[in-house]
Amino acid sequence: MISAHAEKSGVQADFMSHQPAIQLRRLQPERDMDIPLPAYMTPLAAGMDVCAAIESDQHLAPGDIALIPTGLAMAIPKGFEVQVRPRSGLAIKHGISIVNAPGTIDADYRGEVKIGIINLSPNPYTIHRGDRIAQLIVQKIYQASITLVDELDETERNEGGFGHTGK
C-alpha cells in the first residue's frame, strides 16, 4: 500500500514495496473514530505520528509522567518492533518527551498501545484529545546468540568508558 503522500510526491514504488504490514485495531471504535490512525506526515518520514485517545484534557505539571492511551492495538510482523519516540516539536518547544525513550512495542504484544509522556519543562502542558503525542518507527530486529567466554578480544579502546576520548 502506498501512502497518499508518496503518490503525490512521486516516491518510487520500489521504496514502498519494502513495507512490513502492521495491522491496527481500534479497541473502542464507537468512541474513537475521531482519532486519526498513525500516519506519516511527509513522504520520506521515518516515523508515523500517533494521537492521544484521551476522553478529557490531560494536564501535566513540570516533572509529571502520564500514560496516554491511543485506543489502538497492533500486530507487528515477526522480526520487527515498533519504537516509540518523542516528537521533536513537542520536545524542543514544550519539553514533552517519552519517559522510556525509545520505547519498544514487541511483535507479540496485542494490548493497547499507551505512550509514557513526561513533562521535562518548567511549565505546565496540556494534552488534548487527538493531539499528536509521539512517533512510531518500524524497525527490523535481530535476536543475538549469547556465548559466555573467559576473555574478550582486545581493541584500541578496550575498557575506556564515558568521556575517555576527552571533551
Name the pTM for this structure: 0.81
CATH architecture of residue range(s) 24-140: Distorted Sandwich (2.70)
Residues linked to residue 85 through DSSP beta bridges, in sequence order:
135
What pLDDT is stored for residue 158 in this prediction?
Answer: 78
Which residues 6+ apart lie within 8 Å of 122 measured at CB?
Answer: 62, 95
Q: Phi first, then psi: what are they for 62, rounded to 5°?
A: -55, 130
What pLDDT is stored for residue 160 in this prediction?
Answer: 72
What pLDDT is stored for residue 14 in this prediction?
Answer: 47
How high is the mean pLDDT in each 10-residue block of the chain (167 residues)?
Answer: 48 59 96 97 95 97 98 97 96 96 96 98 98 97 95 85 69
What pLDDT is stored for residue 13 in this prediction?
Answer: 47
Q: Which DSSP string do the residues of the chain spell out, in sequence order? A: ---HHHHHHT--HHHHTTPPPPEEEESSHHHHTTSPPPEESSTT-SSEEEE---SS-EEE-TT-EEEEE-SEEEE--TTEEEEEE--HHHHHHH-EEETTSSEEE-TT--S--EEEEEE-SSS-EEE-TT-EEEEEEEEE--PPPP---S-----SSTT--TTTT--
Other beta carbons within 10 Å of 35: 21
